[in-house]
């Protein structure tokens, strides 16, 4: 366990040269701080799309070449793309009349990084944030035992096979016609395109589109599982008590401070550079709400530790904002927060909370 360390996560975006191209881009952007997203998107398009086309070129496909393609996409770009998509979904990137360029994140790059067009936006903003991990959230972790690998697999396969049906029904029941339409158009359009491309080149379609979407959905569900693994059954709608924050990680430095998940749920539109500042300014609220904070590990490491129930490891990285908990008390808190919460959680709510 640790007391609060110094924060080393980024609060400033990279500085780019003041030449005509960057000046033109800045004039088109809502926030000059987001210039890095344009540079990153252009680099991804310049590398990934030609490489994918090469895999489709007659006589060029080989699984060895596909592995190189995956290595570039997954090891260099994938995490950055998902969190760039996250940031630009919550905050528009381009000003009017350039707003239509925002769609490039979804429709041009998305399919190459396991994201059917529009579906991420609909699921994450239209449903997940609206429901805040409560029972109405289709990706809620509450009904599962969150240190159980079996329960995680149930959670993942439900999402993989049924999310299109469940998400479209969710929007239809709430009369949200645009999100209902965009979900079906994005998901079914992607599936249809994959079917048609299989007749062009089955192996390339598997490598470029089908396998990545399965891998990415696994990663997204394991990340969301960890983000909402430690839920206080007595106050499950409180973002301090149903989310976690991970500080001082390589993941935050690569992925625009995504580890500050509590701060993000408190204010969805907060700019990524402001998340470490909010955390430090409001540390008293985190302490008073018994928020779960980890130092030096990210969501995927937290997920892995939960899958093997390594609470000693989690306790080693737990930030005790009170400075008074014993190691056993920290482990008891973490275990209590991972317990399955039934729809009627009155029985759990009657149990005294760990200190």
Q: What pLDDT, on the 0 to 100 scale, is given for residue 227?
A: 98
Angle at 126 between CA 121 and CA 130, to 5 degrees: 135
- Could you tell me which of 353, 340, 296, 10 has the C-alpha nearest to residue 144? 340
Supply the pLDDT for residue 223: 98
The answer on pLDDT for 343 being more than 80 is: no
Q: Would you say residue 4 lies in a domain?
A: no
The total domain count for the chain is 1
| Domain contains 188 | no
Using CA atoms, how far apart are residues 36 and 241, in angstroms rounded to an integer? 33
Torsion sign across C-alpha atoms 233, 238, 239, 241: negative
- Return the pLDDT at 345: 59
Q: Judge whether 53 lies within some domain.
A: no
Tell me the average pLDDT across 21-37: 96
Query: Is 60 exceeded by the pLDDT of residue 88?
Result: yes
Can you read off the two tokens belonging to residue 210? 């089908």
Q: Which domain holds residue 274?
A: 239-349
Closest CA to 266 of 288, 285, 253: 285
Evaluate whether residue 269 is within a structural domain.
yes
Whether 206 is covered by a domain: the verdict is no
Q: Which pLDDT does position 141 carry in this prediction?
A: 98
**33 part of a folded domain:** no
Q: Is 315 among the domain residues?
A: yes
Average pLDDT over the chain, rounded to whole? 95
pLDDT at 119: 97
List, in sequence order, the alpha helices (H) in the chain: 20-28, 35-56, 63-70, 78-90, 103-104, 119-121, 129-131, 149-173, 177-200, 202-205, 211-227, 239-242, 250-254, 261-266, 275-281, 283-288, 299-307, 311-317, 327-337, 346-349
Tell me the CB-side half-sphere exposure of residue 26, using CA atoms within 13 A.
11
Which pLDDT does position 206 carry in this prediction? 98
Is residue 244 within 8 Å of residue 293, measured between CB atoms? yes
Average pLDDT of span 150-165: 97
- What pLDDT is recorded for position 349? 44
DSSP 273-304: GGHHHHHHHTHHHHHHTT-EEEES--HHHHHH
Whether 54 is in a domain gets the answer no
């Amino acid at each position: 366990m640790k007391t609060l360390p110094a924060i080393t996560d980024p609060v400033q975006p990279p500085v780019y040269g003041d030449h005509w191209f960057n000046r033109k881009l800045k004039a088109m952007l809502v926030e000059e701080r987001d210039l890095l997203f344009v540079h990153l998107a252009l680099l991804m398009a310049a590398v990934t799309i030609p490489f994918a086309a090469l895999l489709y070129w007659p006589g060029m496909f080989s699984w060895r070449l596909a592995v190189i393609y995956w290595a570039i996409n997954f090891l260099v770009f994938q995490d950055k793309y998902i969190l760039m998509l996250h940031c630009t979904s919550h905050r528009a990137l381009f000003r009017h009349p350039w707003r239509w360029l925002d769609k490039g994140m979804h429709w041009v790059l998305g399919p190459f990084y396991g994201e059917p067009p529009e579906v991420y936006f609909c699921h994450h903003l239209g449903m997940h944030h609206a429901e805040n991990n409560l029972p109405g959230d289709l990706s809620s972790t509450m009904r599962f035992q969150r240190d159980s690998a079996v329960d995680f697999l149930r959670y993942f396969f439900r999402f993989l096979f049924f999310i299109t049906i469940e998400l479209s029904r969710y929007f239809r029941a709430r009369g949200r016609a645009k999100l209902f339409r965009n979900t079906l158009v994005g998901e079914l359009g992607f599936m249809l395109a994959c079917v048609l491309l299989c007749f062009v080149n089955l192996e390339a379609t598997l490598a470029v589109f089908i396998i990545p979407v399965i891998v990415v959905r696994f990663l997204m569900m394991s990340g969301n599982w960890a983000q909402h693994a430690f839920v206080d059954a007595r106050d499950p709608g409180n973002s301090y008590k149903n989310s976690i924050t991970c500080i001082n990680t390589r993941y935050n430095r690569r992925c625009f401070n995504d580890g500050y998940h509590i701060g993000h749920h408190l204010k969805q539109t907060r700019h990524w550079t402001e998340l470490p500042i909010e955390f430090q300014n409001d540390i008293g609220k985190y302490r008073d709400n018994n928020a779960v904070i980890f130092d030096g590990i990210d969501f995927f490491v937290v997920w892995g530790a939960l899958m093997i129930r390594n609470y000693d490891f989690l306790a080693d990285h737990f930030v005790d904002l009170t400075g008074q908990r014993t190691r056993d008390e920290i482990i008891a808190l973490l275990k209590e927060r991972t317990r399955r919460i039934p729809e009627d959680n009155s029985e759990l709510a009657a149990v005294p909370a760990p200190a």
